[in-house]
Amino acid sequence: MKEKISQLKADMFKAIAHPTRIRILELLKDGELCVCEIFEKLNVEQANTSQHLAVLKKQDILKSRKEGLRVIYSIKYPEVIEILEIADKILKMQLDEALKAFGSTK
């Protein structure tokens, strides 16, 4: 059972682990958007954006709904944003440590 849970976690992180998908999640953190709005804000082709959205949806990170001809996406579990925020904090700490180390070598 622990192996299965570890695999599921790895699959979730693989789905998130792409710069475009991270940008999609960051766009959606403030609310839902149409796929047309997402690809315009990303400056990425619609087909490419749709592929990334499909990966996130397949992993159950995003949900979608139809509104006429438009497909509206939103984050299914807001906790995924917390994961990204924690990553931001870690990266900032790493940068601070690197800057301190660089400053102390002068």
CB count within 10 Å of CB 26 equals 12
Round to whole Å and give the CA distance between 100 and 96.
6
Q: Residue 4: its pLDDT value, please?
A: 93
Q: In this structure, which topology does domain 2-77 adopt according to CATH? A: Arc Repressor Mutant, subunit A (1.10.10)
Q: Residue 103: its pLDDT value, please?
A: 77
Q: What's the distance, CA 9 to chain centroid? A: 15
Round to whole Å and give the CA distance between 5 and 10.
9
Domain spans of the chain?
2-77
Please list the pLDDT of the chain residue by residue as tens digits (106 residues).
Answer: 989 999 999 999 999 999 999 999 999 999 999 999 999 999 999 999 999 999 999 999 999 999 999 999 999 999 999 999 999 999 999 999 998 888 765 5
Token output for 34: 């149409």
pTM attached to this predicted model:
0.87
Instruction: Point out which residues pair with 66 in neighbouring strands.
Output: 71
